[in-house]
Amino acid sequence: MIDETPFWTLEEVIQRATDPVVVISTESVADLVESSLSFPVVTDFHLLPKDVTTLIVVGGGTMMDAAKIMSLNDGFDVIAIPSVWGSGAEVSPISVFTENGEKKHIMDDRLLPMARSSIPGLVERLSESLVQYGCGDAWSHAVEGSVSPLGILESRATGAALMNEMLEVGLKRDEQWFDFSARACLLQASTGVGLIHGIAHTLEPILGTGQSDGGWGHARLCSTILWPVFDRFIRDTEKWQSFTSEHMVDESAISATLHSLFNRDDYLAIRPHLIEAWKLILRHPLTRINCSLVRSGDIARFTEDIV
């Protein structure tokens, strides 16, 4: 398991962040951030002053990753406050970015934020669709991380415990999802993910990565692909069957949950792109560590109707 980013309360952030401190916030919640933190707030990386020692970043995975990558060059500390759950960027030593139309990632221990925190009220700002996409992203990490061929007994037990908690809370607007998401991300960072992420990372540059509800961001793509991949590539495997029985995970409850996240219209919208990009998807490193071998002929599993 990788080191865990400590959680600081907002009071601890205010007391312990080393001056000069600046906050960069996604615009939609900047008013809430300004009323919660006593530091200068900007909403654009170009507006950051040069002499920042601590950057508090309040935003989604893309913004947190951008701040983490900048910190490698500029040397400031990062305190991450996710405005939406799903990516787990606040606890991950990995940053994802797009270069020349290709999704790439850097893994470096220095990318691990100094701390993570939360701001009361952020969860109320999330739209229903972002709640769904975030839950889908976290479930994708939990499922793929739990049955990764690179996993060990300990990681599978961690995944099972997490899934049971996620099932108990259900797919709804709840602060606990920030914690579930962080733990799911830690799990997948220590084991690996698979085809869901291979597809999402391949299609993101093709479809664009808008962060609004209407864009095809990472979380929405993972949510869209989660059920088809689970249904066609995971749940019938010996690996999944032995995982659910050995760790007392309610398989039917998980199936029902993942199915309820499925948006058929979204799936039908991306399916032509998935079929066209299949060779690229097969070559993606994450596809190649899927829990079951993804074969060239498996594209047929997506061309059949999925309900």
Partner 1 sequence: MDSKNIGTVIFGGNVNENPSRLADLLMDVFLLEPDEYSLDLSKADVDTWDSLGTVAMAVGIQEEFGYHLSPEEAIGIESVQDIIHILTEEGVEFD
282 binds partner 1 (CB under 8 A): yes
Task: Give the CA count within 13 Å in the CB-facing half-sphere of 217.
Answer: 22
Q: At 103, is the secondary structure helix, strand, or coil?
A: strand
Of 46 and 295, CB closest to partner 1: 295
DSSP state of 2: P
**Stretches 7-15, 134-142, 162-170, 279-287: which one binds partner 1 (CB under 8 A)?**
279-287
277 binds partner 1 (CB under 8 A): no
125 binds partner 1 (CB under 8 A): no
123 binds partner 1 (CB under 8 A): no
Helix H, strand E, coil C: the string for 26-52 is CHHHHHHHHHHCCCCEECCHHHCCCCC
Q: Supply the minimum distance, in Å, between the C-beta of residue 118 and partner 1.
A: 36
149 binds partner 1 (CB under 8 A): yes
Of 153 and 248, CB closest to partner 1: 153
Structure tokens at 179: 């914690």
Q: Supply the minimum distance, in Å, between the C-beta of residue 175 and partner 1.
A: 36
300 binds partner 1 (CB under 8 A): no
152 binds partner 1 (CB under 8 A): no
Bridge partners of 98, per DSSP, are: 103
Q: Among residues 306, 261, 285, which one has the least CA distance to residue 142?
A: 261
Q: Supply the minimum distance, in Å, between the C-beta of residue 289 and partner 1.
A: 5
Which of residues 232, 271, 288, 301 is near partner 1 by CB under 8 A? 288
Contact 156, 146 (CB under 8 A): yes
Contact 60, 25 (CB under 8 A): no
283 binds partner 1 (CB under 8 A): yes
Structure tokens at 105: 């990632």
295 binds partner 1 (CB under 8 A): yes
Question: CA 129, CA 13: separation in Å to the nearest integer?
Answer: 30
47 binds partner 1 (CB under 8 A): no
Q: Supply the minimum distance, in Å, between the C-beta of residue 194 and partner 1.
A: 10
Q: Which residue stretches of 172-250 are H helix?
A: 176-191, 195-207, 218-229, 238-246
166 binds partner 1 (CB under 8 A): no
208 binds partner 1 (CB under 8 A): no
Cα torsion 161, 164, 166, 168 to 10°: value is: -140
280 binds partner 1 (CB under 8 A): no
Largest Cα separation within the chain, whole Å, is 57
Q: Supply the minimum distance, in Å, between the C-beta of residue 290 and partner 1.
A: 8
Residues forming the site for partner 1 (CB under 8 A): 149-150, 282-283, 285, 288-293, 295-296
